[in-house]
Structure 1
Amino acid sequence: MGSAVIGAQVLSFTMIAAAQAATVYIPEGSAGQVLVVDSETDKVVQTISGLPEIHGLGGSPGSPYLVAGSLAETSRNETVEKPQGMAEDEHAAHHGGGKATMQEGDGSISLLTIVSAADGSPVAKLEVSGAVHHVAVSPDGRYAVATHPGEDGVSIVDLPKRKVLSLVRTGPMPNYAAFSPDGSRVYVSNSGNGTVSEIDTESWIVRRNLMAGDSPEHLAMAPDGGRLYVANVVAGLVTALSLEKDGEDRTYEIGGELHGLDLSDDGATLFVSAKSEDKVVAVDVESGEMRSAPLAPAPYHLTVIPGSGKLYVSSRDEPKVWVVDQASLAPRNSIGIDGEGHQMVALP
């Protein structure tokens, strides 16, 4: 009887762990689709297609949606295909009765595609000015922000209403966006002038610009909202910005050309992919102590998988995503993909 009870408890704990495993969404760039991966097994369980030149992908635990951004630009006069199952009047409402939802910019548009995170079904396609690089979704799931390097600004999307609200100008070549934990601010890296813009999410006004080192791109927000980590990709540095003190707190010298970065669940360790030096680096954010391990070729986008002790790291040169152990930085496994692995999303 005791063995049966223990066995039942083990099975129960196993089922709970499996239920809590994160789902990871991997955009495949030129392949025009997203792979859905069970992080417990590192196996592909679904493919979401119909997403041309997808690079940016955003999601949050507070949203039932994923928001996919396209690098492909078209003319505003080109008709956007209605998602299957959507009524004509609803489709027309999203696109202004056949006209672009947003009239700013130089005349070229790209698409933000909203899909269900649960089953990958299309929900809406929204026209935005210029190519989309990266996407962020607010913690409560209300807003999405998409960066447009060619438009010097970001699109603001009301997700429940499935509507583009505005284009907020931030600075030259905005690259990445990250929300504060409470959703009251969103931060945008402007790689063209070395700044990070802080936007108030109630007024959608830029409140301040922070100097953020040379060529700021990818961002990682501390769990408590006190620091923002900025990859200075060309300089091979990560700049830690104190958001309370209005500027640089410290820098971490990684070396080589950088790309992705993310934080451990507790915010104590920063993980960085050093693309040109074929390595992944873990940094103790308080002591600055670093450890690194080789990872080749060209480690690219990097995402911490919550509650798993894993990192997913894509390669820029090969169609694969490595499954990396956070403690040893050694690859545990790899996932074959098509195209290129871009901005990954891990949802509990």
Structure 2
Amino acid sequence: MILARILPALSLTGALMTTWAAQAGIVYIPEGSAGSVLMVESETGQPIGRIAGVEAVHGLAGAPGTPYLVAGSFTEIDPESAAQTAKPEGVSQADHNAHHAKPAQAAMPTDKGLSLLTVLDAKTGDVVRRIGVPGAVHHTAVSPDGRWALATHPSGDGVSLIDLTTLDYAGFIATGPMPNYVSFSPDSSRAYVSNTGNGTLSELDLDRRILSRNLLAGEGPEHFALSRDGATAFVADAEAGTVLRLDIASGAETATYGFGAELHGLDLSDGEDTLFVAVKGADQVAAVELASGAVRLHALVPAPYHLTVADGSEALFVSSREASMVWAVDQVSLRVTAEIGIEGEGHQMVVLP
């Protein structure tokens, strides 16, 4: 297969972006310090547009059928300046001020910093609303039913809950030290948060807005992937260089996959028979055949970082921690099929149909 070197596209109009979104799956790549999100066509790796105005974007999430993307900023801002952010075109000043109003003090902790979650129209890239949250955001998630969004706050030992039906801040849930990654259960009633600071995976009851239990998850869990039925979690104990397979119901560790070097992103194949892992410390991407435990490795230089599978296609997308690029990788051969030039650093990617 021919390796293509693809450079970023210029920003496109909302109408053209909508046309592309209707034709093919889109990979949304947050570009970190560049303050933007690159849109890439999932089948070809061809950049088709860029969303600007999302400062220090690290966490990015969406869900099929949900009209929004939720982008989290990894930088904190002056609370007094939160309401002075630029007003999007076509929005009245009164509506803009309301959208940037401070959340109710009863809902949001007052002893933490302030950062912004940006709610984007997934098809046009337009800013729909910016919501103040208590501290820098690492990762985000959107529930399968499209009702909720969650954002982790590593310095705040908890997560923010956002109601996507009203676009309002819905509360703060304490988890554990250094919450890192977050994902929802298939029925959207629960969520799971990895706590790097104490080696646990927290289960949250969203109806009660509480932490319901903790599962032991190695020494320093970071990224994880849930099976579609919500019964199994694959958790990267990143610095230990291992992935733990956890049974959600019992909390038992049912398998361990060792890679001997620091890990970062991971994801399951569309058929859930293969686990893909970015072995950052060894400049490799790995594929674990879950039925047999067999591991395939392929070099990926430098420093493979975030990783996401494009469901329904033969590709997975992997960013580099040390270079401004994202690789499109064939899931079978693990060979690079395209190198996509980006701005800044590629963080939590999301693929939507």
Q: TM > 0.5 between the two? A: yes
Offset of 1:84 from its aligned partner?
2.9
Offset of 1:251 from its aligned partner?
1.1
Residues 293-308 of structure 1 correspond to what in structure 2 (within 5 A)? Answer: 293-308=298-313
Q: What's the CA shift string for 1:213-269, capped at 9, x where partnerless?
A: 111000101122110111000000001110122232211112200000000001111
CA–CA distance in 1 between the matches of 2:194 and 2:278? 18
Task: Tell me the amino acid that sits aligned with residue 202 of structure 1.
Answer: D
Map of 1:195 onto structure 2: 200
CA–CA distance in 1 between the matches of 2:206 and 2:340? 37
Q: CA 1:107/1:179 → structure 2, altered by over 3 Å: closer, same or farther?
A: closer
Map of 2:243 onto structure 1: 238
Aligned residues: 331
- Select 1:163's aligned residue among 165, 168, 186: 168
Question: What is the TM-score of this pair, normalised by structure 2?
Answer: 0.90
Task: Tell me the amino acid that sits aligned with residue 64 of structure 1.
Answer: P
Is the CA contact 2:303–2:320 (under 8 Å) kept in the aligned structure 1?
Answer: yes
CA–CA distance in 2 between the matches of 1:126 and 1:101? 16
Is the CA contact 2:103–2:132 (under 8 Å) kept in the aligned structure 1?
Answer: no
Map of 2:69 onto structure 1: 66
Is the CA contact 2:103–2:169 (under 8 Å) kept in the aligned structure 1?
Answer: no
Map of 1:33 onto structure 2: 36
CA–CA distance in 2 between the matches of 1:184 and 1:79? 31
- Select 2:25's aligned residue among 12, 22, 25: 22
Is the CA contact 1:101–1:128 (under 8 Å) kept in the aligned structure 2?
Answer: no
Map of 1:88 onto structure 2: 93
- Select 1:311's aligned residue among 287, 304, 316: 316
CA–CA distance in 2 between the matches of 1:285 and 1:28? 32
Is the CA contact 1:92–1:98 (under 8 Å) kept in the aligned structure 2?
Answer: no
- Indicate the RMSD between aligned Cα atoms, in angstroms: 1.7
Map of 1:339 onto structure 2: 344
- Select 2:57's aligned residue among 54, 59, 71: 54
Q: CA 1:98/1:245 → structure 2, altered by over 3 Å: closer, same or farther?
A: closer
Map of 2:6 onto structure 1: none
Q: Which one has more relative contact order, counting CA pairs under 8 Å at least 6 apart? A: 2
Offset of 1:72 from its aligned partner?
1.2
CA–CA distance in 2 between the matches of 1:216 and 1:91? 39
Q: Which has the larger radius of gyration?
A: 1
CA–CA distance in 1 between the matches of 2:196 and 2:167? 29
Residues 186-335 of structure 1 correspond to what in structure 2 (within 5 A)? Answer: 186-335=191-340
Is the CA contact 2:82–2:100 (under 8 Å) kept in the aligned structure 1?
Answer: no
Q: CA 1:221/1:234 → structure 2, altered by over 3 Å: closer, same or farther?
A: same
Map of 1:8 onto structure 2: none
Question: What is the TM-score of this pair, normalised by structure 1?
Answer: 0.91
Offset of 1:284 from its aligned partner?
1.4
- Select 1:136's aligned residue among 130, 141, 148: 141
CA–CA distance in 2 between the matches of 1:99 and 1:291? 51
Q: SS at the partner of 1:258?
A: coil
